[in-house]
Structures are given as C-alpha cells and as structure tokens.
Amino acid sequence: MKPTLKAVAEAVGVSRSTVSNAYGRPDQLSTELRERILETARQMGYPGPDPTARSLRRGVVGAIGVLFTSRLSYAFTDPFAVRFVTGVAEAAERHDSNLLLVPLPPDASGARRAVENAAVDGFCVYCVGDEEGILAAIRGRGLPFVTTSARSGADDRWVGIDERAAARSAAAHLVELGHRRVALLGHDVLPRAASDLLRVADVADVPHPTTRDRFAGFADAFATAGVPWSDLTVLTARDNTRDAGAAATSALASLPEPPTAVLAASDVLAFGALDALREQGEWGRQVSVTGFDDIAEAATVGLTTVRQPAEQKGRTAAELLLEPPADARAGQILLPTTLVVRTSSGPVPRS
C-alpha cells in the first residue's frame, strides 16, 4: 500500500494541512517542523502531495465553485442545500480556500457559459440537471470536479447515496402498512407540464436524475406489491418549496379515488403536502406522507423520511476536490441512509 499524506501526518502528530504546507507553503512552518515532516515522509516513501491537488490549492483564483440548478437564493433558503454548503465551507476553510456559488440557468447554453466564466480552480457539482453537459464544459476547461451522484466512470470522483435504494425503503414501509393507491410528488417532474397532476408514460421520462432515481425507487417497492407504474399518481411541484408542494398536492382532492399516501422527493415538498392535506378535513388528515433528507424541521412535524448526511456530503466532496486520494477508487464514496419512521405515516384508514 502506498503511503499517504494522512499517514505522514499521523506519524508526525500534525494535521494533514500542516504536512501539505511543508511542501506547498513552507513559510507557514518553522524550519525544524518542516524538516521533521519531510524526513518522516522520505523514510515512509511518501513522494509528496498529488501535483493536481497542489496545483488546485495554489491556483490563480484560490476558490472552488459549487454548482447547482436553481436561483442563487436557493443556497441560503433550502434547508438541505444550506447544510451541504456549510459542509463544503468547513472543508474549504481548512484548506485556506474560498467558495463561489454558481447557480446554473435552465438553458444548456447559459449553463455552459456559467461554468466557462466561473473564476474557480475546481467544482463541486451539486444537484444539477444536465450533469453530462455540465461535466463536458468543466472538462473543456481542464478543471477537476467532484459530483454528488454516483457515477460509473473509473476515474471520476464523487460522494453520494444510493438514491434508488433509499427511496425504495420509504415506499416499502408504506407497502407494509397496506398502501396501494399512492401519489409521488417531485419538483419539475416535467418542467413544462400544464397541470400539477401528470400521466408520465415511464419513470425514465423524468428528466432530473435525482427525482428520476427516487421515483424509480418508489416504483420498485410498489411493483413488488403488484402496483405498476401506470397506477401511480404523479404530482409535479413548480419549485422545491413548501408552497409549491402544497399547490401540487391540493390537486388530489379532485380525484374520484384520492391516494392514501403521498411520497415526496424532498422534505420541504412533504411539508407542503401535509399543509394541503390538513385543509381537506378528515380525509386529508388520514393520508400518510413521507419525505426525503431529514432536515431539522422533519422531527418537529413528525415526518417519516429518509435521512442522509448533508454536512458530511459537503465536507467529503470538498475534501475530495482539494486533496484527492492517489487511488481513484478511494475518491468514490457511497454514504449511508436511514429510514426514520415518525407519525406522518400509518396504516391505510378503514373505509
């Protein structure tokens, strides 16, 4: 096994950033400490930090970009995004780097221009729609990147969760409770849909990769219970906000046989669903609702949801960008998720 910067740091009894400074910023250390670090590294056979990482840390800009498909205010108002960016910022601070938040316009050409014009030394790609197009633009600049979705490329660096399996666990919970007539609620399931209620021919037609994977997981669980995709009601929210979730869910009241459960692709959409259902009286209060993310308010409202580690995802993404491991496989990290069952889900109400 090749010696690593971390191993040298542990042997000397200092932080990884201190070892990195011994190579790239010697003025930050005393002569004695730097010589001790370099001698320990020589004895261990450690050749020094990865030149790509060293170049990134000493780049002409000194900043990393966080890409996301939404308006700029989303990074400060969406609870999960706030926690993710906090994790990125914590790691950037440890490496004396800055952040640039880069919202991507909805059109492909505008998104490419945003990537091409961003004054950064590398990118954390967080929750973007046309990921392949965005990555092509980043590669065109010759800059490193880390995504927050699992990718098949052997050399790609990413930190993510198994979206489909996590969503399947929430749906399987409702299947066990007897639910068969359900609605799936997502953000911009079909961006130009004329109605909140949709008939989507196949889950593969959902354009946003995260929503598509979560909907696929929901569908997997119900398929095992004999409920095909065509029998699932699909709701599209105009934005990933509580108000948009409520507006989309209110359309359920017009159905001759409303669903007994709503599976939302995010917690904020689930909060909106709960708001709308409460206004429907006794029927609405009996509808089960699940979310995804487990943001802080989820516990307060008793939401059953899938928990994923937001801050850890952000920290790990930034660390992989700023200090990439020598082994490419070590730069591909799948984080755990947990189904958290609370009071918002229950058995199918008796008719």
How do residues 112-147 score in pLDDT, each as one tens digit? 889 988 889 899 999 887 778 889 889 888 889 999
**Confidence band of 199 (pLDDT split at 50, 70, 90):** confident
Looking up tokens 């005393």 gives 30
Per-residue model confidence (pLDDT) at position 242 = 96
Nearest to 130 by CA among 149, 117, 144: 149
Domain range enclosing 298? 163-307
How do residues 153-191 score in pLDDT, each as one tens digit? 667 899 999 999 999 999 999 999 999 999 999 987 876
Q: How far apart are the first and last CA of the chain?
A: 64
215 with 303, same domain: the answer is yes
Per-residue model confidence (pLDDT) at position 59 = 52
CATH number (domain holding residue 263): 3.40.50.2300
- 145 within some domain: yes
Per-residue model confidence (pLDDT) at position 192 = 66
133 with 20, same domain: the answer is no
Per-residue model confidence (pLDDT) at position 209 = 86
Per-residue model confidence (pLDDT) at position 347 = 97
Rounded-to-integer distance, Cα 296 and Cα 77, Å: 13
Total domains in the chain come to 3
Higher pLDDT, 27 or 315: 315
- Give the rounded percent of residues in the chain with a pLDDT score beyond 90: 57
Least confident of 47-61, 96-110, 203-217, 329-343: 47-61
**Confidence band of 50 (pLDDT split at 50, 70, 90):** low
- How open is the CA angle 162-165-169, to the nearest 5 degrees? 135
- 344 within some domain: no
What does the pLDDT average to over 61-86?
A: 90
- 201 within some domain: yes
301 with 194, same domain: the answer is yes
What does the pLDDT average to over 252-261?
A: 92
- 89 within some domain: yes
Cβ partners under 8 Å of residue 124, min gap 6: 64, 65, 66, 67, 88, 145, 146, 148, 314, 317, 318, 321
What does the pLDDT average to over 44-53?
A: 66
30 with 157, same domain: the answer is no
Give backbone dihedrals phi and psi of 138, rounded to 5 degrees, phi first.
-65, -45
218 with 155, same domain: the answer is no
Per-residue model confidence (pLDDT) at position 52 = 47
185 with 315, same domain: the answer is no
10 with 101, same domain: the answer is no
Q: Does the pLDDT of residue 247 top 90, yes or no?
A: yes
Helix (H/G/I), strand (E/B), else coil: 104: coil
Per-residue model confidence (pLDDT) at position 337 = 98
122 with 250, same domain: the answer is no
